[in-house]
């Protein structure tokens, strides 16, 4: 069982703990109580060389000021909500914008900037850590007192299962996601040489403020077609209006099994990332209807981790989630959770090498 280790102290004096999970296959995952943040994932390449394949820091200090959400759990609503407001059951809720006119990843002090309680556990041969916290009613403007649990479970064969549950005492909207930046090379060189596959025939185009227009557009014959493996760098700089808005990829893909019911807890295949140089491979499976692929476009080298400076496109995010701005789009799969109705989402990141 993973024992807590000191990871630093918050400005108010509260200690932050780190937990290290180790699999029999050699994969090692570290996560801390600040933001339920995954700080490192160490895996081997085809030649046996071990390296950290996510962007992160070695103490809690650098996480406090940065706004890139490195490795954190984002919520209460992952991704964007237009004009930082939504209507639920006839009542309008005004949130605090933190991304131009919009709300991003839960607000200025979302779940990524909160201290969680940590508890290690084992399940057979697998190691895990459970993070819990209570989000009080009206935190960042969201209704309902929300009791949240995040479980990271590392299997003996090196698959990291991320499970999210939440219970509310009033109708609210919930959308939690894991926001790690992956770089399978184990460096901070741009991920343009990574090969990506996404199991999606459609994506949600965005407006100038990066809010979905409501359309579900076909990826065929566009730079957004990753139905077959393609290098991320192949078309990322095409003169496509959608790519220009996000300075690259920062869009939600509609996974091919997007019509599942809200209580469907079955994982389905979402995406694969391969890095030819190291042989490392990541396969993603999820219960969620959407996948936000973000190519690290707004990283600028001003932040630095143990691998080096986080330059533009030094990491890629695969955020499995409800669609962005779902509370304002009745045709999108719902994000509403009511009393007596438990929120559940699960994603597995499986690490291997070829």
| Whole-number Å distance between alpha carbons of 341 and 275 | 41
179, 194, 329, 353: which is the annotated catalytic residue?
Answer: 179
As a whole number of Å, the end-to-end CA separation of the chain is: 30
| Whole-number Å distance between alpha carbons of 327 and 275 | 36
Tokens found for residue 24: 């029999």
Tokens found for residue 39: 């700080």
Tokens found for residue 237: 């700089």
Alpha-helix residue ranges (DSSP H) falling in the chain: 61-65, 241-246
The residues facing 224 across adjacent strands are none
- 275 noted as active-site residue: no
- 179 noted as active-site residue: yes
Residue with tokens 């949600």: 204
The answer to whether the CB of 277 falls within 8 A of the CB of 232 is: no
Q: Which of 39, 30, 46, 48 is CA-nearest to residue 306?
A: 39
Measured on CA atoms in the order 139, 56, 163, 266, is the torsion positive or negative?
Answer: positive
The residues facing 281 across adjacent strands are 274, 352
Tokens found for residue 162: 């991320």
139, 140, 151, 319: which is the annotated catalytic residue?
Answer: 319
Q: Give CA separation, 196 vs 5, 141, 191, 321, in Å.
A: 35, 37, 10, 18
The answer to whether the CB of 132 falls within 8 A of the CB of 149 is: yes
| Whole-number Å distance between alpha carbons of 275 and 195 | 6
Contacting residues for 241 by C-beta, under 8 A, at least 6 apart: none
Instruction: List the catalytic residues.
Output: 179, 319
């Amino acid at each position: 069982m993973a024992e807590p280790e000191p990871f630093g102290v918050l400005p108010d004096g509260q200690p932050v703990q780190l937990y290290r999970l180790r699999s029999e296959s050699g994969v090692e995952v570290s996560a801390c109580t600040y933001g339920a943040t995954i700080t490192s994932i160490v895996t081997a390449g085809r030649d046996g060389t071990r390296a950290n394949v996510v962007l992160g820091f070695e103490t809690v200090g650098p996480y406090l000021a940065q706004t890139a959400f490195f490795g954190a759990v984002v919520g209460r609503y992952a991704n964007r909500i237009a004009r930082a407001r939504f209507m639920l059951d006839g009542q309008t809720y005004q949130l605090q914008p933190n991304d131009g006119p919009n709300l991003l990843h839960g607000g200025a002090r979302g779940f990524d900037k909160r201290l969680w309680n940590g508890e290690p556990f084992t399940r057979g041969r697998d190691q895990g850590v459970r993070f819990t916290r209570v989000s009080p009613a009206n935190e960042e403007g969201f209704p309902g007192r929300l009791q949240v649990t995040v479980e990271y479970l590392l299997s003996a064969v090196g698959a990291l299962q991320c499970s999210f549950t939440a219970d509310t005492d009033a109708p609210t909207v919930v959308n939690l996601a894991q926001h790690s930046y992956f770089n399978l090379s184990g460096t901070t060189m741009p991920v343009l040489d990574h090969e990506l596959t996404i199991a999606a025939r459609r994506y949600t185009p965005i407006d100038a403020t990066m809010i979905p227009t409501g359309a579900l557009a076909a990826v065929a014959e566009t730079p957004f077609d990753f139905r077959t493996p393609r290098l991320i760098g192949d078309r990322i700089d095409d003169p496509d209006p959608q790519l220009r808005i996000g300075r690259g990829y920062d869009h939600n893909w509609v996974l091919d099994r997007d019509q599942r019911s809200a209580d469907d807890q079955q994982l389905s295949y979402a995406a694969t990332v391969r890095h030819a140089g190291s042989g490392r491979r990541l396969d993603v499976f999820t219960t969620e209807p959407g996948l936000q692929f973000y190519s690290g476009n707004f990283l600028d080298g001003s932040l630095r981790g143990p691998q080096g400076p986080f330059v533009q496109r030094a990491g890629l995010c695969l955020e499995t989630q409800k669609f962005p701005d779902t509370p304002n789009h009745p045709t999108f799969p719902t994000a509403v959770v009511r009393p007596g109705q438990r929120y559940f989402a699960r994603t597995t990141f499986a690490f291997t090498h070829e």
